[in-house]
Structure 1
Amino acid sequence: MPEQTTAAQTARADIPADGAGKPDAVVVRDALGVGIAVGLSGFAFGVTSAGSGLTVWQTCALSLLVFTGASQFALVGALAAGGNPLTAAAGAFFLGVRNAFYGLRLSQLLALPRVLRPFAAHWVIDETTAVSLAQPGRRAARIGFAVTGLSLYLLWNLTTLVGALGAEAIGDTDAWGLDAAGPAVFLALLAPMLKTGVDRAVAGLAVLLGLGLLPFLPAGVPVLLAALAAPAVLYVAGRRRGAGRGGTR
């Protein structure tokens, strides 16, 4: 009589338990590279946030407690443009919702003990997800997640403090273009993921909505409406697939 396989075992059957073929030192090196490179952009956030009118303590609290760079830049950017604080917070919130979907995948891949999951959840961001998913097995994924998360969290918060303290010395932050550092990093991470036509259509429509509505709506609102790109494109793609199947009958 064949052994019965549980749903949990089936779901994890495609996740190797070890990182055979990739030494731990290589995983650590790659993870540190991402953590250091992205962590340095915390300086740009600190300067931008302080230049937007937030105090040093408010700026540091955002990095310590929120710790999702694109959402932080969206929040202070909307505030700097004169947006309503509630609208700015809502835009940042919806931009950060993507991390919840990352968590669904990482929970299976990492399979961390329950006691560690609430702490690990704070580090579920674009960079830790990208490094973890790039690994060949669970051990390497755990190492990549931990090293990326720790190095990025420490450096991001340190450079945020330095940037906030040095904002006055820099002067006009708009002249330096530092407010573009966060979105630039986010786009660099997003670009390799746009592999299908649907992915590219969603990204393109979101850009058109976000930029096209910017002159007409309060700061923060275009970001919320840009989120409608995903359901709109998926709806059209579903209708086309349905029409294609109907035409072959």
Structure 2
Amino acid sequence: MEHDVPGATEHDDQAPRTPQKPDSAVVRDALGVGIAVGLSGFAFGVTSAGSGLTVLQTCALSLLVFTGASQFALVGALAGGGNPFTAAAGAFFLGVRNAFYGLRLSQLLALPRAVRPFAAHWVIDETTAVSLAQPTRRAARIGFTVTGLSLYVLWNLTTLLGALGAEAIGDTDAWGLDAAGPAVFLALLAPMLRTTTERAVAAIAVVLGLGLLPVLPAGVPVLVAALAAPAVLYVEGRKGDAKAAAKGDATEDVRPGDTRNDPRSDIQHDTQREDR
């Protein structure tokens, strides 16, 4: 027999809906990231031209590679007198992370097969961060497209301008353009650190990366900082095992038939006295 619950509606049986986000808000956020990071193309253009690459080579890197960290690693190694093949290999391995981004985004975006080869060129840190921050697939697709398009266009435009005007811009460190990309990515990452474990991993990684920067070769502190995740997870696992063991010991202390520590036994004894 069914009973009607006052105030109940037909929507109570439905699963809670995913919160919607206006398309205009997604576009605004995506454009903010694309414009902010795209401006750092000035720094790459200047750095690349300063390392000996021609304007054509510099622009080809932005058009075909389009992953800022790998591009900076390549021209930085060349500027330091490194072997071109070694520099290219280092940039390649640094860009491998985008393949892991692609595995996640392929499930999230679920793009048509004909579009995937073109979308793969835009799988970078910023498009991944914006897409993952969206509540729905539609918003994720909009965020990915707007971020990728605006960043690709502006990055290549500023790369060209930076390469052509390297002498006029001067020292990129003084302008701080090289810090625009990492700063925006950190701003996107910070709200996603919700749990204590996530914050602990981030804090330890920062300490390791900055602390080892003066004593280890370039690139190595970042690899060491990655050890923060397994270290924190190991500690959390040990804490969980300790709690489980303590809980098991407490359970074993209460034996079957032993009512000395059971508050209900006092009630039973009082009832028996009243019956007498």
TM-score range, shorter chain: 0.7 to 0.9
Contact kept? 1:202, 1:230, Cα under 8 Å: yes
Q: Secondary structure at the match of 1:135?
A: coil
Counterpart of 1:126, as a letter, is D
- Identify the residue that residue 8 of structure 1 maps to in structure 2: none
* Structure 2: unaligned runs, 5 residues or longer: 1-14, 249-276
Contact kept? 2:33, 2:184, Cα under 8 Å: no
> Against the structure 1 CA distance between its residues 21 and 212, is the aligned structure 2 distance closer, same or farther, given a 3 Å change threshold?
closer
> Would you say 1:151 and 2:150 are equivalent positions?
yes
CA drift at 1:111: 0.9
CA drift at 1:160: 1.3
> Against the structure 1 CA distance between its residues 226 and 58, is the aligned structure 2 distance closer, same or farther, given a 3 Å change threshold?
farther
> Against the structure 1 CA distance between its residues 155 and 199, is the aligned structure 2 distance closer, same or farther, given a 3 Å change threshold?
same
> Would you say 1:241 and 2:235 are equivalent positions?
no
- Identify the residue that residue 37 of structure 2 maps to in structure 1: 38
Greater relative CO, 1 or 2 (CA 8 Å, sep 6+): 1
Which digits, 9 at most, give the CA deviation of each residue in 1:174-222, with x for residues without a partner?
3434333333233222222222222222222222332222222322232
Counterpart of 2:229, as a letter, is A
Contact kept? 2:129, 2:189, Cα under 8 Å: no
Counterpart of 2:47, as a letter, is T
Counterpart of 2:154, as a letter, is L
> Against the structure 1 CA distance between its residues 190 and 134, is the aligned structure 2 distance closer, same or farther, given a 3 Å change threshold?
closer
Q: CA RMSD in A?
A: 3.2
Give the share of equivalent positions with the same residue, in percent.
85
CA drift at 1:159: 0.8
> Against the structure 1 CA distance between its residues 101 and 79, is the aligned structure 2 distance closer, same or farther, given a 3 Å change threshold?
same
> Would you say 1:179 and 2:186 are equivalent positions?
no
- Identify the residue that residue 218 of structure 1 maps to in structure 2: 217
- Identify the residue that residue 7 of structure 2 maps to in structure 1: none
* Structure 1: unaligned runs, 5 residues or longer: 1-12
Q: Secondary structure at the match of 1:115?
A: coil
Structure 2 Cα separation of the partners of residues 86 and 234 of structure 1 = 37
Contact kept? 2:27, 2:143, Cα under 8 Å: yes
TM-score relative to the length of structure 2 = 0.69
Contact kept? 2:36, 2:184, Cα under 8 Å: no
- Identify the residue that residue 4 of structure 1 maps to in structure 2: none
Structure 2 Cα separation of the partners of residues 170 and 240 of structure 1 = 54
Larger Rg: 2
Structure 1 Cα separation of the partners of residues 96 and 16 of structure 2 = 26
CA drift at 1:87: 7.1
- Identify the residue that residue 104 of structure 2 maps to in structure 1: 105
Counterpart of 1:65, as a letter, is L
Structure 1 Cα separation of the partners of residues 238 and 210 of structure 2 = 27
Q: Secondary structure at the match of 1:114?
A: coil
